Structure formats: structure tokens, C-alpha cells
């Protein structure tokens, strides 16, 4: 390859991975990406002006997701990662169709991890109302193993508790047990944490549910899927690159940023602000 072409290909591969979530919970995915792909730069965009997505209609979440993905393209993203279960559950087909770079969601990677983990073949899924209503996890799990039994439950109170930083409080324990206890009684042996906030409750859930329930979060598997995609598309950043993390939000950061930063031990640097621009990519 002529030197000028090689330089151009290097510049192409040094473009950031664009990651978005309705808010800050998607930093759990960023944390996994940073650990796995230290040479990759990441531009994270959290739609904090409009969080939560979990109680909104599919049409609204689709519109928001297309707008946020367009903003990532303006940041020169070489690929887009949907680090939000709600957006992955209801907007992935629209994103895949209208975004001119490859898009990775969190549902399929989470389902793959659950299918690999279950021994009894009975998997529990928890998430926001929109995620559970969409049936996206059931479809993904059954596409991987048609025999699998799935029990899903919306847990709308967990996101506010996490954002409040109540990760290890008796009231949080009670609510976890109220939501998840019936799934355990029904015989699940694997529980998919189908919301990017929930890994912050992983410790509490492991303590409450014990060793007999395997907890699956999609962050690690999603990072693996992104690595495989970059390799396949010849988009891996050059090894000489030092991956840089930029975090932007659509509204001023609130106290949840501190909670996530501490829980994930992630250096998010100075937070940038971006105004939501109307959806342009058709």
C-alpha cells in the first residue's frame, strides 16, 4: 500500500467508537470497552436532557435514538454502539437501516451470554418497561435456542434507586427481592440485567440471590462484539494509538455522574455539553 494510502487508512481507523445511552448508565459498557480495547478512542453521548427512555413509547425512543446517533456521526464515529437496552430493544432496526456505519446493540450480546450460562434452560430477564414490553430479549434468546424458557419482568423502580446512589440500602434490597424473588421461585438459574444501569446493583443482587443464580450483563459481551466487528471491518485503531475517552451529555451532569464514576472507577475527564440536533440521516 502506498504510504499516503496507509496514512489515510490509519486516520480512518483512529476515528472514535461512538457510544450512546439515554443517560449515564451506558458508562458500564464504556468501562468494558476501555478494558478490552485500550487503543480505541470513544466518544460517549448520554441523552440526559431526555432520560429516562424506559417509560416512553417505541416511536419516541426511535426518534431520540436516530437523533443521538446522527450526533455521534457528526463526531466522526467509525461505528455506533447502542449502550442502552431500551434503545436496543425498540430502535435497532431503524438505526441499522439509517445510520451509514455499523451499529451494535446490547440485546444480542446479553442473550448470547445468558444462553451460554444457563444450565436449566430457564432464563430471567429484567429491564425497563419499554424493553420488557418489546419482547426483544425473548426473541433474541429463542433465536439462539428455541427451547429456552424465559421469564421477564419490568423493574421501573430500580433506575431511580440507582441514580440516587442507593446501591446498598435495605430499601433497595427489598425492592430487588420483590421484583426478582418470583422469578427465582419460578426456577430461573440465570438472570439477564437488561438495563445498562443494573450492573451497578450487581453486588447487591449477587449477595441477595446467592451463587445459584448467574448474573449476566451485556456490557462485557457487547465489548467483545464490538472488538470482533472492528477486526472484521479492518477498523481496529493502530496499536500506537492511545485511546481517548470523551464524554458528552445533552444536559448538565447531575449527582448520578458521581455515583457512576465512583462505582465504575472510570476517568471521564471534563464533561462536554451537546444540544440535541434534529434527526438528519434518513
Which residues are known catalytic residues? Answer: 84, 195
Return the residues of window 217-276 that contact ligand DGL according to CB under 6 A.
Answer: none
Return the residues of window 145-184 that contact ligand DGL according to CB under 6 A.
Answer: 159
C-alpha span between 216 and 144 (Å, rounded):
16
Which stretch in 28-36, 79-87, 171-179, 211-219 sits in contact with ligand DGL by CB under 6 A?
79-87
In terms of Cα–Cα distance, which of 196, 197, 210, 18 is closest to 109? 196
Which stretch in 115-123, 192-200, 226-234, 245-253 sits in contact with ligand DGL by CB under 6 A?
192-200
66 is an interface residue for ligand DGL by CB under 6 A: no
Which residue blocks in the chain are alpha helix, DSSP H?
Answer: 3-13, 27-36, 58-74, 85-98, 107-117, 129-134, 136-144, 158-163, 170-186, 202-209, 218-232, 255-264
192 is an interface residue for ligand DGL by CB under 6 A: no
Q: How many residues bind ligand DGL (CB under 6 A)?
A: 18
- 3-state class (DSSP) for residue 165: coil
Tell me which of 14, 17, 20, 21 binds ligand DGL, using CB under 6 A: 21
CB of 23 to ligand DGL, least distance (A): 6
62 is an interface residue for ligand DGL by CB under 6 A: no
Which residue blocks in 118-254 are alpha helix, DSSP H?
Answer: 129-134, 136-144, 158-163, 170-186, 202-209, 218-232
Backbone angles phi, psi at 20, to 5 degrees: -135, 155
Cβ neighbours of residue 149 closer than 8 Å, sequence gap 6 or more: 121, 122, 123
CB of 128 to ligand DGL, least distance (A): 5
25 is an interface residue for ligand DGL by CB under 6 A: yes
In the DSSP assignment, the letter for residue 207 is H
Which stretch in 12-20, 124-132, 138-146, 228-236 sits in contact with ligand DGL by CB under 6 A?
124-132
In terms of Cα–Cα distance, which of 121, 126, 127, 78 is closest to 99? 78
51 is an interface residue for ligand DGL by CB under 6 A: yes
137 is an interface residue for ligand DGL by CB under 6 A: no
Residues that bind ligand DGL (CB under 6 A): 21-23, 25, 51-54, 84-86, 127-128, 131, 159, 195-197
Amino acid at each position: 500500500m502506498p504510504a499516503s494510502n496507509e496514512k489515510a487508512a490509519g486516520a480512518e481507523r483512529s476515528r472514535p467508537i461512538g457510544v450512546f445511552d439515554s443517560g449515564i448508565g451506558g458508562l458500564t459498557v464504556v468501562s468494558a470497552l476501555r478494558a478490552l480495547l485500550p487503543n480505541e478512542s470513544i466518544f460517549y453521548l448520554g441523552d440526559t436532557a431526555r432520560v429516562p427512555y424506559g417509560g416512553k413509547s417505541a416511536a419516541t425512543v426511535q426518534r431520540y435514538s436516530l437523533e443521538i446517533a446522527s450526533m455521534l456521526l457528526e463526531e466522526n464515529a467509525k461505528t455506533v454502539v447502542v449502550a442502552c437496552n431500551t434503545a436496543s430493544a425498540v430502535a435497532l432496526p431503524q438505526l441499522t437501516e439509517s445510520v451509514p456505519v455499523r451499529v451494535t446493540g446490547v440485546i444480542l450480546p446479553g442473550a448470547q451470554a445468558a444462553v451460554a450460562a444457563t444450565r436449566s434452560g430457564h432464563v430471567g430477564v429484567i429491564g425497563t418497561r419499554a424493553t420488557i414490553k418489546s419482547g426483544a430479549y425473548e426473541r433474541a434468546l429463542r433465536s439462539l435456542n428455541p427451547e429456552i424458557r424465559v421469564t421477564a419482568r419490568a423493574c421501573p423502580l430500580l433506575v431511580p434507586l440507582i441514580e440516587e446512589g442507593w446501591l446498598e440500602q435495605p430499601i433497595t434490597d427489598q425492592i430487588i427481592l420483590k421484583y426478582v424473588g418470583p422469578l427465582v421461585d419460578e426456577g430461573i438459574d440465570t438472570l439477564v440485567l437488561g438495563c445498562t444501569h443494573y450492573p451497578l446493583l450487581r453486588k447487591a443482587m449477587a449477595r441477595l440471590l446467592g451463587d445459584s443464580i448467574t448474573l449476566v450483563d451485556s456490557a462485557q459481551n457487547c465489548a467483545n462484539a464490538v472488538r470482533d466487528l472492528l477486526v472484521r471491518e479492518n477498523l481496529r485503531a493502530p496499536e500506537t494509538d492511545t485511546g481517548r475517552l470523551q464524554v458528552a451529555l445533552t444536559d448538565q451532569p447531575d449527582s448520578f455522574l458521581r455515583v457512576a464514576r465512583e462505582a465504575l472507577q472510570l476517568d471521564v475527564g471534563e464533561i462536554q455539553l451537546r444540544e440535541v440536533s434534529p434527526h438528519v440521516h434518513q
